[in-house]
């Protein structure tokens, strides 16, 4: 397996007013005192991007968004473009999270269009995929994620900086995680689908695991073959928990 630097990204979802900015400051301070051996990113809600950019300025923690519109500008009430995120200080953007796919009806094609927009704005996309519990129980996990990779990754990604995040929907926010064998099986299938889609360009990008990652399970998950980092929801809101995961990486 490649020994590339792992990426640990925190997804604050629709949280972060108040205490979490202080948590971000604590995280930056801790990481300045004890350099992390991995890349660390925080993805706050869009309105906090600029404030977070100031908190994280000159520090080791990268900044990301949680979604963007596929178009560069126009009559899209309520939406934020990739260029707007970049202008506010973001360097990465999470796209196709299962909460967007399920709650906002985003298809693989929608996600692929957003990836193009992110690349055009110079953002590094983190493209999320993952099966539902019903799909897992029907033995379709590998088939589902392979289809999502084929549909959500535009061929323009080849040679660009990006990550894929495998997040089983049933593991998100539930405390449940797949077995290490299941994670290894799906990550291998995701890598194969990336190479099928992008050729050699599909070999380098890290495949993050996401879904109930916490300090107590991070080390064993991050040691699985082809796990190139973690996408962390709940545990990214507390500096101490997030630091525990970063130390494991
Ligand atoms: P969780 O969320 O860590 O709270 O399970 C992960 C995610 O949705 O990215």
**Residue in 23, 97, 99, 131 annotated catalytic:** 97
Structure tokens at 48: 């906090």
Beta-carbon contacts of 150 under 8 Å, excluding residues fewer than 6 positions away, are 108, 193, 196, 197
> Residues 114, 159: contact at Cβ < 8 Å?
no
Does pLDDT of 21 surpass 90?
A: no
Rounded to the nearest angstrom, the distance between the alpha carbon of 10 and the centre of ligand 1 is 9
Closest C-alpha to ligand 1, atom 9: 233
Check residues 145 and 201 and name the one with the higher pLDDT. Answer: 145
| Overall size of the chain counted in residues | 249
> Please, which residues have CB within 8 angstroms of residue 117's CB and are 6 or more apart in sequence?
68, 69, 70, 71, 72, 81, 82
DSSP 3-state assignment of 41?
strand
Query: What whole-number distance in Å separates Cα of residue 106 and Cα of residue 207?
Result: 21
187 a catalytic residue: no
Give the closest residue (by CA) to ligand 1 atom 2. Answer: 233
Catalytic residue check, 116: no
* Confidence (pLDDT) at 91: 98
Testing ligand 1's pocket by substitution, the residue of 10, 167, 169, 176 carrying the most ligand atoms inside 8 A of its CB is 167
Pocket test of ligand 1: the residue of 166, 212, 214, 241 to mutate, having most ligand atoms within 8 Å of its CB, is 212
Mean pLDDT in residue range 19-32: 84
φ, ψ of residue 204 in degrees (nearest 5): -95, -40
- Please state, in angstroms and rounded to a whole number, the distance separating the CA atoms of residues 132 and 3: 30
CB atoms within 10 A of CB 152: 27
Percent of the chain with pLDDT over 90: 88
Residue 68's Cβ-side half-sphere holds a number of Cα atoms within 13 Å equal to 37
Q: Please count the CA atoms within 13 angstroms of the CA of 47 that sit on its side-chain side.
A: 6
Q: Contact at 8 Å (CB) between 184 and 224?
A: yes
Q: How far is the CA of 24 from the centre of ligand 1 (A)?
A: 17
User: From atom 6 of ligand 1, which residue's Cα is the shortest distance away?
Assistant: 233
For residue 4, how far is the Cα from the chain centroid?
Answer: 17
Q: Which residues line ligand 1 (CB under 6 A)?
A: 11, 167, 172-173, 210-213, 231-235
Q: How far is the CA of 233 from the centre of ligand 1 (A)?
A: 3
Q: Which residues contact 240 (CB under 8 A, 6 or more apart)?
A: none
Asked if 236 and 12 count as a contact pair (C-beta separation under 8 A), the reply is yes
Residue with tokens 């500096």: 239
This prediction's pTM? 0.96
How many Å lie between the centroid of ligand 1 and the Cα of residue 232?
Answer: 5
Residue environment code for 4-36, b if the CB has 16+ CB neighbours within 10 A, otherwise e: eebbbbbbbbebbeeebbebbeebbebbeeeeb
Atom of ligand 1 nearest to the CA of 11: 9
Q: Work out the pLDDT band at 31, boundaries 50, 70, 90.
A: confident
pLDDT digit string, tens, across residues 97-139: 999 999 999 999 999 999 999 999 999 999 999 999 999 999 9
- Per-residue pLDDT at 133: 97
Nearest CA to ligand 1 atom 3: 233
pLDDT exceeds 80 at position 1: no
Of 106, 167, 187, 226, catalytic: 167
Q: Among 31-45, 76-90, 102-116, whose mean pLDDT is lowest?
A: 31-45
Which amino acid residue places its CA nearest to atom 1 of ligand 1?
A: 233
């Amino acid at each position: 397996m490649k020994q590339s630097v792992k990426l640990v990204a925190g997804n604050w979802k629709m949280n972060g007013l108040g205490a979490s900015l202080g948590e971000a400051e604590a995280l930056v301070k801790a990481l300045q005192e004890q350099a992390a051996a991995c890349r660390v990113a925080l993805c706050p809600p869009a309105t906090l991007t600029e404030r977070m950019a100031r908190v994280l300025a000159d520090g080791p923690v990268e900044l990301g968004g949680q979604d963007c519109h596929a178009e560069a500008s126009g009559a899209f009430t309520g939406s934020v473009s990739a260029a707007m995120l970049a202008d506010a200080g973001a360097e990465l953007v999470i796209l196709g999270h299962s909460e967007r796919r399920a709650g906002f009806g985003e298809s693989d094609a929608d996600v692929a269009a957003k990836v193009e927009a992110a690349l055009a704005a110079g953002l590094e996309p983190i493209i999320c995929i993952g099966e539902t519990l019903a799909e897992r129980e029907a033995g379709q996990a590998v088939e589902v994620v392979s289809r999502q990779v084929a549909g959500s990754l535009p061929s323009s990604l080849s040679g660009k900086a990006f990550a894929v995040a495998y997040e089983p929907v049933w593991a998100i926010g539930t405390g449940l995680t797949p077995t290490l064998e299941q994670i290894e099986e799906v990550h291998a299938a995701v890598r194969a689908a990336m190479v099928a889609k992008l050729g050699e360009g599909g070999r380098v990008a890290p495949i993050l695991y996401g879904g109930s990652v916490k300090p107590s399970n991070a080390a064993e998950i991050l040691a699985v073959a082809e796990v190139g980092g973690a996408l962390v929801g709940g545990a990214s809101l507390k500096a101490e928990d997030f630091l525990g995961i970063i130390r494991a990486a």
